[in-house]
Structure 1
Amino acid sequence: MGQNISMIVTKQKTDNISKDIIHFIDYNYLVLPLDLDGFEVERIIEELVQFDTLENIINAKNKLSSESKKVINLIDNLNINTFVLSHYSEHGDMPIDVFDFIVKESKVIKNKTNDVEDILNYFTDFTNDIDFEKYWNFKRCLHHFNKEKEKTYFVVEVKASGPIPSDYSMIAFGAVIVDNSLKRTFYGKLKPISNKSIYGHHGLSEIEIQKFAEPEKVMNEFYEWISINSIGKPIFVSPNNGFDYRFISWYFHKYSIENPFIENNNEYNNNSININDIYKGRKSNLDLNWKNLRGKEYTNAVDDAIQSAKIFKQITE
């Protein structure tokens, strides 16, 4: 069996989508997989294509079949007017059924005109870039959607020789998974990439630091550890993520496959949390600082991370 998927795809932004509706944001596209087979989509399209505008369809939706009415109610609730309702199925890599219902700025596109070419070009990036393994069928979409709703929190603490990566080195970092035990940890010790130092070596000797592993080896091992231990999205947590996340992200981009704490390889979509911000929010006081909850700073970055994770749990539970 090959791919067999029905979906609605749009580039329009909407704030009206329920968290319970199966959907994905991929490359600025909103994708809504539908639990419909090719025969059902074909019947829906045959019914909807009789109308000239989306407004006419919405006004007549109570006269539509139950399948068409569900689709139109979804579109109406999303408040979108440019989209493609599509079905694609194949067998042995050979297409069997391909159906598209196209609406552009509320106009139902019926003929092979420039409008069709425009709207198909509109979705070129989507068809070129998306992971078709995820959109193989509705069941697989449901699996990915439920998985993406889950999150694994990683508290990370960085020891660096200065305020910015590249000019200064990340000497060590510790990470711990936030669970009941706080025993799943990672300790990264990295050979310096620069001789510059403002903050010193955090209690570590120069001889010891020079024996640390190359950054590429450490960051790839960290990436693999995160991948193995993540259920759903990995979330970066730090008491000062403006500092800690800056180093971890830069080192991932420089020395590893990618940064696992971002989505779609886009740093604007980073999944990072500042413990101090959560503390201020919970207490409804922007002048508070979580440091009064913290004890001493350790030489071992893992010990720092465990201490911060305990505070994170205390604040959020």
Structure 2
Amino acid sequence: MIPPDRARRKSRPSLYISVDIEADGPIPGPYSMISFGAAVAGRHDPDGTYVPYDPEARTFYRELRPISEKFVPEALAVSGLDRDRLLREGTEPATALADFTAWVREVATGTQPVMAGYPASYDWTFLYWYLLRFTGESPFGHSGCLDLKSLYAAKTNLPLRAVAKRTMPRELLSARRHTHHALDDAIEQAELCNNLLTWEA
């Protein structure tokens, strides 16, 4: 095992980028990611210092053209997006993901970008699949993903299944409303990320 001090000396800062996706089904491929938003949350330095940023300062948002004919009406309804409009006007996935990759690389200059989500598993599954499928690579690598739900469970020594936002201390949660608009929710989630990483449990 590499000692923590040596790992700190060898590493670059991590830049946490909160990402939220909306989809019309449970898995990518048969179903489509129909929108995604991202907001820069903050920088985690190798010495352990965390610097929160204004999550509204650097953001990214796209609505995408669906990639298949299949969709789950209940899943589609969550976002409130009009699928017929997206088929006509949505950004081509290859264009959107190339633009996103360029944006991540620009905002993460001098750092290693890390996608942050709550919970990250669903959003990361779609985002990583789309990145690999439409650009051939991921600016986050294959494992640059921080699950905020797991982070809270580790800080509080709670079983993961016992964690829910309604059980968290109020000071950790964003005052913003959860709208199911991908950019709104990415900004809200960035505030949760910042609060968790500066919180002494």
Band of TM-score, shorter chain: 0.7 to 0.9
Distance 1:212-1:150 versus aligned 2 partners, 3 A rule? same
Match of 2:97 in 1: 219
Match of 1:313 in 2: 194
- Which blocks of at least 5 consecutive residues in structure 2 are unaligned? 43-52, 168-172
**Offset from partner CA, 1:168-227 (integer Å, 9 cap, x none):** 000001100014211210002110001211211411123431211100000000000000
Match of 1:275 in 2: 148
1:82-161 alignment runs, 5 A limit: 145=10, 148-161=11-24
How many aligned positions are there? 174
Distance 1:209-1:291 versus aligned 2 partners, 3 A rule? farther
- Which blocks of at least 5 consecutive residues in structure 1 are unaligned? 1-14, 24-144
Whether the 8 Å contact between 1:241 and 1:273 is mirrored in structure 2 is: yes
Give the SS at the match of 2:76.
coil
Distance 1:288 1:306 in 2: 21
Distance 1:22 1:278 in 2: 19
TM-score (norm 1): 0.51
**Offset from partner CA, 1:1-27 (integer Å, 9 cap, x none):** xxxxxxxxxxxxxx145643798xxxx
Q: In structure 2, give the amino acid aligned to 1:203.
A: G
The structure in which a higher percent of residues are strand is 1
Identical-pair percentage: 26
1:189-268 alignment runs, 5 A limit: 189-198=63-72, 199-201=75-77, 202-210=79-87, 211-230=89-108, 231-262=110-141, 267=142
Distance 1:161-1:291 versus aligned 2 partners, 3 A rule? farther
Distance 2:103 2:155 in 1: 31
The CA RMSD over aligned residues, in Å, is 2.1
Q: Which has the larger radius of gyration?
A: 1
Whether the 8 Å contact between 1:155 and 1:178 is mirrored in structure 2 is: yes
Match of 2:36 in 1: 173
Distance 1:16-1:192 versus aligned 2 partners, 3 A rule? closer
Give the SS at the match of 1:252.
helix
Distance 1:19 1:171 in 2: 43
Q: Which runs of 4+ in 1 moved over 2 A?
A: 16-23, 290-297
Match of 2:46 in 1: none
Whether the 8 Å contact between 1:204 and 1:299 is mirrored in structure 2 is: no
Structure 1 residue 242: Cα displacement: 1.1
